[in-house]
Amino acid sequence: MRLPWRRATRPMTCHEVGLVLQAFLDDEADEVAARRVADHLHDCVRCGMEAATYERIKQSIGRHRPALDPATVARLRRFGEQLAAGGPDAPAERPRS
């Protein structure tokens, strides 16, 4: 008898792993996804090599990242928010009637 709350989990495909690999490497994947990704990386040489490459890149960037002062970070964040809202020169959105 199969219990409804016990779903069988199939192995993840390379494509599925690719979609969540960065979250996994940043420890942002939920526990179930992290376990499934780890299982896949253990069995798949190609995805394991990709994950190892990303880890090396991340470590290298971390070692060479310049320190930014908080004012610069705040200015960059405001600029990014302006771009996401349509750009600094975008007209203000009109209220909908």
CATH of the domain at 36: 1.10.10
Mean predicted confidence (pLDDT) in 20-27:
93
**Cα separation values, 31 from 6, 15, 36, 39, 60, Å:** 16, 19, 9, 12, 27
Smallest Cα–Cα separation from 35: which of 19, 58, 12, 14?
12
22 inside domain: yes
pLDDT at residue 3 greater than cutoff 70:
no
pLDDT at residue 2 greater than cutoff 80:
no
State pLDDT tens for residues 27-79: 999 999 999 999 999 999 999 999 999 999 888 877 777 777 888 888 988 88
Task: Name the residue range of residue 30's domain.
Answer: 14-84
46 inside domain: yes
23 inside domain: yes
pLDDT at residue 94 greater than cutoff 50:
no
Residues 38 and 92: their CA atoms lie apart, in Å, by 46
Which is more confidently placed, 72 or 16? Answer: 16
Number of domains present in the structure of the chain: 1
